[in-house]
Amino acid sequence: MNDTFIVIIAIGIAGILMFIFPLMTIADRNDDITQLTVQTDTNELVDGIRRTGTLTYDEYNSFVSSISATGNAYDVEIQFQILDENPSKKTSSATNVVIIGENVYYSVYTTQIEEELNNKGKYVLKEGDIVSVRVKNRSKTFAQTLRGVWYSVMGDDTYIIFASAAGTVSVNGK
């Protein structure tokens, strides 16, 4: 009886060591690779917007398709900070040189940007605008699922793949 119990325990441990452990290791490495891929794509997207001053519907779709090809679902958050130089140009009178304000930025967010892309096919920015993109996985990766089974500590809103990039637009978009 005692031997049987030990054998069962041993088989259990062996199963964990032979299957679960390698599986977790490979799943972790897979997440590492996914992280690199998503970060590269995010950088390329931001760099493209920064260089051309334009985000097109096709570019955005291509980016979303590319990161989705990693097998996970992602939340993409885009923020454009639009430069408003007018406050710094306003003067108290037409003949006075006193400058009363500084440059300000106001932000547009993902839904507004997506709406513009759907309606017009592109979002045009100008020199000085700031673009920032954040991507995080919405669905659990295989590694997260495995860890969730073991540790039961994974909350619904926890992410493991995260990429972000930002830059200042260097040209007026066309």
Partner 1 sequence: MKIQTLAIIFVLIIMPISVVLGEYSAMQRKIFAIEQTYDSSLITSTDDALKAFQINTFNDTTTGITDRKMNIIEASANAFFNSMEQCFSMQGYSKEDLHSYVPALVYTMYDGYYIYSPYQNITEQNGTINLGSTGKDYGFKPYVYYSCRYTSGANNDFVITYTLDNYITIQGFVKGAMVDKAGYLLTRANAKDKLGVFIDSATNQVYYNGVPIEKESNLTENLVESDGTTIKQYKYIKLNGTKYYLDEGQEKIFYILGGDRVEQAIKAKDEETYAMYKNAIENNISAIDYYKKAYEFTLWVDNNLSSITVNNAVPINNLQDKNIGNIFDGNYDSPGSNFNTHRKDVIRYAIESNLSIAIANFNNYSGSTTDFQMPVLKETDWDMLQNEISIISFLQGLNMGGKIYNGYTVVANAKTEEVINEGKIYIATSDGYYHKINDKHLLKNSDYMKTYTVKDGVLDLDFEIRTDGATNQKYRNRTELGCYTSIVEQSNVDSTCDSIYEYLTKHKNDIYENALIKYYTALGREKWGRRFNSLILTSLDEF
Which parts of this chain interact with partner 1 (CB under 8 A)? Answer: 10-11, 13-14, 17-18, 21-22, 25, 28-29, 32-33, 35-36, 39-40, 43, 48, 51-52, 82-86, 88-91, 94-97, 99, 116, 120-122, 124-127, 167-168, 170-174
C-beta of 51 vs 156, nearer to partner 1: 51
CB 170 to partner 1: min, Å: 5
CB 158 to partner 1: min, Å: 20
Residue with the two structure tokens 């985000």: 55
Task: Please choose, from the candidates 15, 3, 153, 133, the residue with its C-alpha nearest in 3D space to the C-alpha of residue 64.
Answer: 133
List all residues 6 or more positions away from 135 whose beta carbon is below 8 Å from its beta carbon. Answer: 38, 42, 67, 74, 75, 76, 77, 161, 162, 163, 164
CB 119 to partner 1: min, Å: 9
